[in-house]
């Protein structure tokens, strides 16, 4: 499967999980919920998705050569 699709789907999945968890924790204001979910999912994806990010950058570098 193409690394860009895997990485994007993983990021979207983390965002949706973050929204769900923050909502269950009591964050109900829609704007604040989305901002907090983007921040949380960004930090989590930086830690958890390094393998996918490396595969994507290798694919891009390979295509540029």
Comparing CA positions, the residue from 1, 15, 2 lying closest to residue 48 is 15
pLDDT average, residue stretch 9-13: 96
Number of domains in the chain: 1
The residue to which tokens 């990021």 are assigned = 11
pLDDT average, residue stretch 7-12: 95
pLDDT average, residue stretch 5-32: 96
Say if pTM beats, i.e. exceeds, 0.95.
no
pLDDT of residue 35: 97
* Domain range for 54: 3-64
pLDDT of residue 46: 94
Residues 11, 41: contact at Cβ < 8 Å?
Answer: yes
């Amino acid at each position: 499967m193409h690394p860009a699709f895997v990485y994007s789907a993983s990021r979207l999945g983390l965002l949706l999980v973050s929204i769900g968890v923050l909502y269950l924790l009591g964050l109900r204001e829609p704007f604040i919920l989305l901002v907090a979910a983007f921040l949380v999912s960004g930090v989590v994806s930086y830690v958890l998705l390094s393998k996918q990010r490396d595969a994507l950058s290798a694919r891009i570098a390979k295509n540029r050569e």
